[in-house]
Amino acid sequence: MSKIPLGRTAQAALRSSANSWLEQDPDASTRADLEALLARLGDLNEPGVTIADDDASDRAAAWRELRDRFATRLTFGTAGLRGRQEAGPNRMNRVVVAQAARGFADYLLGRAGTARPSVIIGYDARHNSEVYAHDTAELMQAAGVNATILPRALPTPVLAFAVRHLKASAGVMVTASHNPKWDNGYKVYLGDDDQGSQIVPPADAEIAAAIEAVATTKRVDELPRETAYATADESVVDAYIAATASVLTGDVTPLKVVYTPLHGVGWETFAKVLERAGVEAPIVVEPQLTPDGDFPTVDFPNPEEAGALDLAYEVATEVGADLIIAHDPDADRLAVAVPTAEGWHRFGGNDIGKLLGWRAALASPGEGTLATSLVSSPAMSKVAERYGLDYLETQTGFKWISRAPGIIYGYEEALGYLVNPETVRDKDGISASMAILELAMAQARLGKTLLDLDDEFAETFGAFESRQVAIRYDDPTALPAAMAKLRATPPTAVGEVPVTSFVDLATEPIPAEILRIELADRTRIMVRPSGTEPKIKSYIDATSDEGTLAERQATAAARADATAIGMQQLLT
């Protein structure tokens, strides 16, 4: 988004939009927030006068804030709508949710023909998630869509499961997953031929157009509402629990496991899945056990972030645990750690991803597809080749991975794994936990750990090392500028290693906003802007299949580290 100059005309338009917003906003807290912002604006500029970018006054800051909130709208990204919870169309709030709900309803009615469509609605424990979910149910029911809301705050995978289990036309999950505590989001799924997967083009653009039509032609406070929507009973949750418990197919072997849901909604459901599978309950990280939208013990509720698992490490060290399992707040992601002589080792998403891919290949040799995203490690291609399976690299996001033809397993490096595509067409941290427990228990019976299995993978397929470099921008407009600079002047080397290939995937038949850089030492770099955060991310994958196990691992790690330093220098 280019920034409109803050002159008198633009100021008048922004203030008018804000006042119109106040008139229809049903939320007292966001109204008060916006009124406080408007009070800081002062008078409009004199004709011909524009607020300078370097004006550090509070009045200038207020105008810039108003512009950021009202000059554009939240758009569907990798995971639907997601943003900070404040007033304005470029934020998450009850007005935006109402417009999204009615727009989505209009879209479903338009594609349903004479049949009355249906929607399943779920929500997590973030601030306002339940409010947004009930707003959605009331508005969609009144619009002509049979709305059913899940009985309480539950993990995202339960909602994804319910869309297929209940044969619904669509699903909505209110969650911001692993985002900061001030965010919330709105994930949209389609049933029927889409089999409960998240939306992809052209549906996303069509839904966005329907939402825009509501936003520009209707007032939220005048949209009809109907409270006679349905609430799902416990049978749908029980069905998810039964299906997920069956993922663990090996013998149950005692392990001392420490578990944290990072203040999210994963524990209740995960505990019931473990009980159903006959697995002893883990030792829990008590301060993080209860769902809490303030996430008081972590800066960011993302198990990938530094420090997020510190409490789990403390508990696990104290009790002498064999394994740590962590979910993000909506339990669609999984983090895994094991003890070493040097301390706790948390596996990267590619590490767990390749091991679970190996598990899937052993269970289904010669039949099906292993799928992963373009920015995930190419390690799984070696697994597919050895076991006679198809291999597909998709665009980023499980909305693409889940649609791979013949999929038997899929993953992406951001701790997302799909191990049971016949029941859930989205990443699922709970079912993935059962699969990783199966592997850990099998290793324990041999007197080994998952680290030994990782070594066996390197001996069989080669050593693979992944790194990620993320550059965060305060100004989202800086992201396309940085990508444009790379395109205009492709690097000839990263660090001291020559570039052998530079491909702009935006020019491919199925375009993706990704730059692929390959180096002379076979290291691959994928550069892309984040779909959910103001970041440019570089995904680095290095490999080595020569020498002893130790030599392979050392070479791959050295290549990955050197490339990470080179990309940091290139992007800053």
Name the residues annotated as catalytic. Answer: 177
Per residue, what are the HEC states of 1-25?
Answer: CCCCCCCHHHHHHHHHHHHHHHHHC
- DSSP sequence for 277-326: HTPPPPEE-GGGTS--TT-TT-SS--TTSTTTTHHHHHHHHHHT-SEEEE
User: Could you report how far apart the first and last alpha carbons of the chain are, in Å?
Assistant: 22
Contacts of 286 (CB under 8 A, 6+ apart): none
Rounded to whole angstroms, the Cα distance separating 176 from 187 reads 9
The span from the CA of 238 to the CA of 158, in Å, is 10
Residue 100: C-alpha distances to residues 52, 94, 196 (Å): 35, 10, 19
Nearest to 401 by CA among 197, 207, 203: 197
Q: Is 470:536 a contact under the CB 8 Å cutoff? A: yes
Of 376, 378, 408, 404, which is closest to residue 392 (Cα–Cα)? 404
**CA-CA distance, 100 to 215, in Å (whole number)?**
9
Distance CA 544, CA 56 (A): 52
Cα–Cα distance between 477 and 481 in angstroms, integer? 7
Cα–Cα distance, 344 to 452 (Å, whole number): 15
CB 305, CB 328: distance < 8 Å: no
Write the CB contacts of 336 (distance below 8 Å, at least 6 apart in sequence): 323, 324, 325, 326, 346, 347, 352, 436, 450
β-strands 524-529, 515-519: how paired?
antiparallel
Residue with tokens 């104290």: 318
Helical segments of 56-117, H only: 58-70, 94-112
Matching residue, tokens 């019931």: 272
CA distance 269 to 408: 24
Q: Which two tokens stand for residue 201?
A: 């083009």
| Closest to 173 in 3D by CA, of 425, 437, 463, 420 | 425
Cis-peptide, bond into residue 301, ω within 30° of zero: no
> What residues have CB less than 8 Å from 340, skipping those under 6 apart?
451
Please name the residues in contact with 74: beta carbons below 8 A apart, sequence gap of 6 or more.
Answer: 81, 82, 83, 89, 90, 91, 92, 96
Report how many helices (DSSP H) and strands (DSSP E) the chain contains, helices first.
Answer: 17, 22
